[in-house]
Structure formats: structure tokens, C-alpha cells
């Protein structure tokens, strides 16, 4: 059986070969960074990650720092592979989701536990409070410098089945992409099913799953409306994403280069938070028969959570999501979460 390192070596050759951009002028003085991005068909990549590395960073630094990026979808990579390859030095910078690396350590889930925050303002506070915890975890686990946390649009449920409230999730097969989302689904009485993003449409079409979780704009741009009939807009997560750099590469930049890169990344991060704050309304309108200025409209049935749905969600959050996560992460991890995120959302994780 091939080891991960053997597979990674083969992947590294293919991944590096995919980067074909010419070197910057004054290459002997310039730093050229190879990055891997998120999904090439989603707005965070084609509006932000892609333009930043392929164009903006070189212009903003007058060629002192240049870059190039390919989305994981173009490189044929799976989410869980990204940080392992960054640690090996295949990439210099990686964008990804903490949920995809949580198998290494449950601490990575702590800033985006399912269903705990229902508005982007609170989610921003959560991300900022938990940043030092994740920064330490990335350094220890992946030899990486955490430089960004930013959201995808809110994660909701898209169903090819009659779903008019949280009670209707009972018995449904629901696509998830992280353990904490699986905890929500199972707490609601459904069955969690792991399906790759690119395979969701056929899975919904063939009845492999009844519903699938993803962000609002992701569902629109990926055309899930072609097979899904009901848009149940209970927020079950934010798809919080990270940007992290190989620590050896980061250290090689020196203090001046680090300061310059970090300043540009901070500007990028601000733009991502600002745009995501507007995308939910736009995407939901486009998907459910409302005004749509960004492309073709769809006619899914809009199902908003009721006050009773939110009460049930609160119970699931306390009794299932937080309880299971605390058991995975341990007492010290839970205590740290209570002092950071828990203080913001008014909840407590208790490890038994």
C-alpha cells in the first residue's frame, strides 16, 4: 500500500507542473509564492483568491512579492490534502476550510461549530476571538503561519424533498462536509452522508441524499437549483475558511517581507468579509424567484426557520453539537473555547 508521502510526492510533481506563470522581473530580488485556492467556480476564488495571487500582490508590492494560484478543483486535490501538502512544501500558501483538517485535531472546528451563530457580525467576533488558538494549532500541526480567517456565505440546507421545517429533517439523508455538520444532522434525526461538492448534484438527482449543506452563493453558482426544490435557510454554519503559509517560507521573507505580505492579506480579508455579508440576500433571491441581477433566476421554495425551529436548533447545539465536540477535543480545549468563543455566543462546552 502506498504511503501518504509517496502519494504526496506524485501529487507534488503534478501540482507544481500546473504552475506555468513566468517569473517576475528582477527575479533575483523577488519572492515568488505558489498558492492553492478553494473552489475555482465559487466567488471567493474567482473574485478574491485568484486575482490577489495572480495579479494584485505583484502590483501592490511593485514586484517584490509575486504569486500564482490554482484552485484545488483544477489541481484535482481533496480538501484534507491541502495542509499536508503545504507542510511538505509543495505549496507556499494554502486557502482551505478548518473543517477539512479537523481529523488531525478537533480544535480546528472551534470557530465554526454548526448552528451556533446566526449572523455574520457574531461570526466575525468568533473568528477573531479564536484566531490565536488556531494560529497555535496550525503552527504545531502543520508548521504553518495562519494569516487569514474569512467566511463563505452562510451554510444552509438545499433539498430535493419536502422540507418545511427542522422536524422534516428527521429520517432524511443529508450531505455534510465536516464532523460538526454531521452532529447537527444527526441531532435533528437525519443521517449524515459525506459527498464531495462536485458530486452533490447527481447525488441529489439519484436520491443518494435528500438534502445537502453548502453556502447560499455556492448553491447558486454550482446550479444546485437544477435538482433541489426546497431552500431551507436555517444557518447551520459559515464555511469559515483560512489562509496559511508554510512556516519556513514565512520565516525566509524576513521582517520587512512579512509586514508587506501581511498588510496586503489583511486588505484581502476585509474585502472577503464585506462581500460575504451581502451575498446571502443576493443568492437566496436568485434561487427562490426573487430579483436576480447576477444571472438566471430559479424558483426553489423558500423555507425560513420558525421560532420553534430555532428553539430546537438551540437544544441540538447544546445537547449534541457542543457535547460531542467537547468530547472529541478534551477538557483543556473546551475550557479555552468557553473563555473565547463561548463568552461571545453565551454557550458552554463541557468535556466529560
From the CB of residue 154, how many other CB atoms can be counted at a distance below 10 Å? 25
> What are the pLDDT digits (tens) for 221-260?
999 999 999 999 999 999 899 999 999 999 999 999 999 9
Ordered domains of the chain (ranges, CATH): 4-152+239-278 (3.40.190.170), 155-238+280-344 (3.40.190.170)
The DSSP bridge pattern shows strands 144-150 and 301-303 to be unpaired
Phi, psi of 228 (to 5 degrees): -90, 145
Long-range Cβ pairs for the range 170-174 (8 Å, 24+): 172/210, 172/211, 173/208, 173/209, 173/210, 173/211, 174/209, 174/210, 174/211, 174/212, 174/213
What does the pLDDT average to over 70-94? 94
Name the β-bridge partners of 288. 299
Distances (CA, A) of 216 to 51, 156, 232, 299: 22, 7, 10, 14
pLDDT bucket at 292, cuts 50 / 70 / 90: very high
**Cβ atoms < 10 Å from Cβ of 79:** 18
Give the percent of the chain with pLDDT over 90. Answer: 85
- pTM recorded for the entire structure: 0.88
Rounded Cα gap, residues 249 and 230, in angstroms: 46
**Among the listed ranges 8-22, 37-51, 147-161, which one has the minimum average pLDDT value?**
8-22
Main-chain phi, psi angles of 241, to 5 degrees: -115, 160
pLDDT in tens, 186-215: 999 999 999 988 899 999 999 999 999 999
pLDDT confidence of residue 66: 97
Backbone angles phi, psi at 23, to 5 degrees: -65, 160
Amino acid at each position: 500500500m502506498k504511503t501518504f508521502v509517496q502519494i504526496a510526492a506524485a501529487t507534488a510533481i503534478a501540482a507544481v507542473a500546473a504552475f506555468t506563470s513566468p517569473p517576475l522581473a528582477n527575479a533575483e530580488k523577488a519572492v515568488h509564492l505558489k498558492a492553492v485556492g478553494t473552489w475555482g467556480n465559487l466567488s471567493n476564488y474567482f473574485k478574491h483568491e485568484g486575482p490577489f495571487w495572480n495579479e494584485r500582490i505583484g502590483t501592490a508590492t511593485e514586484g517584490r512579492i509575486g504569486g500564482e494560484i490554482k484552485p484545488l478543483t483544477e489541481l484535482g486535490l481533496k480538501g484534507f490534502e491541502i495542509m499536508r501538502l503545504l507542510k511538505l512544501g509543495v505549496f507556499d500558501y494554502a486557502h482551505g476550510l478548518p473543517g477539512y483538517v479537523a481529523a488531525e485535531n478537533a480544535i480546528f472546528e472551534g470557530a465554526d461549530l454548526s448552528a451556533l451563530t446566526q449572523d455574520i457580525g457574531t461570526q466575525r467576533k468568533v473568528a477573531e476571538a479564536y484566531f490565536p488558538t488556531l494560529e497555535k494549532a496550525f503552527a504545531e500541526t502543520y508548521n504553518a503561519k495562519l494569516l487569514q480567517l474569512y467566511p463563505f456565505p452562510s451554510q444552509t440546507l438545499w433539498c430535493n424533498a419536502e422540507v418545511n421545517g427542522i422536524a422534516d429533517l428527521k429520517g432524511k439523508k443529508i450531505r455534510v462536509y465536516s464532523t460538526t455538520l454531521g452532529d447537527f444532522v444527526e441531532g435533528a434525526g437525519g443521517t449524515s452522508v459525506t459527498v464531495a461538492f462536485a458530486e452533490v448534484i447527481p447525488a441529489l438527482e439519484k436520491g443518494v441524499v435528500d438534502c445537502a449543506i453548502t453556502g447560499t452563493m455556492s448553491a447558486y453558482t454550482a446550479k444546485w437549483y437544477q435538482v433541489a426544490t426546497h431552500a431551507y435557510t436555517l444557518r447551520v454554519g459559515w464555511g469559515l475558511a483560512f489562509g496559511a503559509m508554510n512556516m519556513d517560507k514565512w520565516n525566509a521573507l524576513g521582517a520587512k517581507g512579512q509586514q508587506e505580505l501581511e498588510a496586503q492579506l489583511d486588505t484581502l480579508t476585509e474585502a472577503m468579509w464585506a462581500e460575504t455579508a451581502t451575498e446571502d440576500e443576493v443568492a437566496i433571491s436568485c434561487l427562490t424567484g426573487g430579483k436576480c441581477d447576477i444571472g438566471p433566476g430559479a424558483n426553489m421554495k423558500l423555507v425560513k426557520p420558525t421560532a420553534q425551529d430555532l428553539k430546537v436548533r438551540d437544544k441540538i447545539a447544546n445537547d449534541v453539537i457542543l457535547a460531542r465536540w467537547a468530547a472529541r477535543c478534551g477538557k483543556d480545549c473546551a475550557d479555552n473555547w468557553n473563555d473565547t468563543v463561548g463568552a461571545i455566543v453565551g454557550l458552554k462546552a463541557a468535556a466529560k
